[in-house]
Each structure stands twice: as C-alpha cells, then as structure tokens.
C-alpha cells in the first residue's frame, strides 16, 4: 500500500483513509452515509417461548424484547418516565411490563382462553426477558397464540413464537399485522 494512505482501526474493523484531509473528509462522509441509518435496516423482533410443563401441569412463558423498544412503547402508552434497567420504583415497572404483555399476548388451550400470571422480568444483554405462568394445564389438544407485541411501535415488527409440548417444538415467525399461530 502506498504511503498516501493510512489504516485506522476501530472496534474490530478497519478503514483505509487517504492522508489528504479533503479527500479523507469526503471519504469519511461517504462511509458514514453508507453505514448510517440510510443504508441500515434494523430488525424489530420479539421472541416468545411457551413450554408445557407436564409435571407441574402448567405453561411456562418467556418473552424477550429489546429494552429500548419496550421502554419506548411503555413511555408512549403510559405517558410516564420508564426505566426498566435502573428503576426508582421496580414494582411500578413490573406492573407496566406485566400489563403490556398481557394485553398483547393471548393464549387459548383446548378452545379456552387462559390468563397469564406474571412471574417477573430481568435484563439479558440488550433485552428484557419477562416471565409468565399459566397453571392447571394438564393436557393440550389444541392451542392458539395471539401475539402482537410492539406491533403499534413499528410496522416492520416481527414476532417469533416457539411452542414446546410433549417434547415437540413448533415455531413460526409472524410479520405485522399477522398475529395468530395455531401450533397444535
């Protein structure tokens, strides 16, 4: 490589930048445009897993949602300050998360609509993982899941749903506005 260029390392990537300041500036602007939001399309997704625990006769449900997306929706719909990572009132944040998920995730088993019971939530990297349980589910002949979590936030929102019953895993991806899945 000629001495008219320099290599700049930045967070596991490198750029070859001309030493000339004007040419370097123009190249930097072009690179910023290329890697900016104009060229980048983020993925908006939530992941819900529902597993039948035959020993406990229950459904164990977890929902994984990007923290920033969930906070934005809760902030907009409740018109209050929302901080799920360092809440000044943890109980209030738990109530917001619980109410939101229960409004946007509905589960029916054997043609009967079931009520989710909130267990809690925790932070996992850049996501909030919330946990729910439904008791007294002895056997599953049929199931329908309605999931429109964050659909009001982004039209590109997707829901990935995994259902595990008797060791059999059924999964789907729902694209907004699709919101129903019948795994069994």
**pLDDT one-digit tens code per residue, 30-87:** 444 444 444 333 789 999 999 999 999 999 999 999 999 999 999 999 988 999 988 8
What is the Cα–Cα distance from 180 to 177, expressed in whole angstroms?
9
pTM > 0.85: no
Structure tokens at 7: 């290599």
What is the Cα–Cα distance from 136 to 184, expressed in whole angstroms?
18
Tell me which DSSP letter residue 40 carries: -
Q: Where are the domains of the chain?
A: 5-35, 45-181
- Answer whether 135's CB lies under 8 Å from 57's CB: yes
Q: Does residue 157 surpass a pLDDT of 60? A: yes
Quick one: residue 150, left, alpha or beta (phi over 0 = left, psi -120 to 50 = alpha)? left
Q: Does residue 16 surpass a pLDDT of 60? A: no
């Amino acid at each position: 490589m000629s001495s008219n260029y320099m290599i700049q390392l930045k967070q596991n990537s490198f750029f070859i930048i001309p030493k000339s300041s004007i040419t370097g500036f123009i190249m930097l602007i072009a690179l910023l445009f290329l890697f900016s939001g104009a060229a980048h399309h983020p993925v908006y997704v939530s992941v819900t897993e529902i597993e039948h625990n035959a020993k406990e006769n229950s459904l164990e449900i977890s929902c994984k949602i990007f923290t920033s997306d969930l906070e934005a929706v809760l902030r907009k719909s409740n018109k209050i300050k929302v901080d799920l990572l360092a809440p000044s009132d943890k109980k209030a944040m738990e109530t917001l998360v619980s109410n939101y998920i229960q409004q946007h995730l509905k589960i029916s088993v054997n043609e009967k609509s079931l009520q989710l019971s909130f267990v809690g939530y925790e932070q996992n990297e850049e996501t909030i993982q919330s946990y729910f349980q439904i008791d007294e589910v002895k056997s599953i002949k049929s199931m329908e899941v309605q999931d429109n979590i964050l659909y009001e936030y982004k039209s590109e929102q997707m829901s990935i749903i995994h259902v595990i019953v008797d060791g059999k895993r059924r999964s789907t991806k729902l694209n907004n506005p699709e919101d129903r899945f019948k795994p069994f």
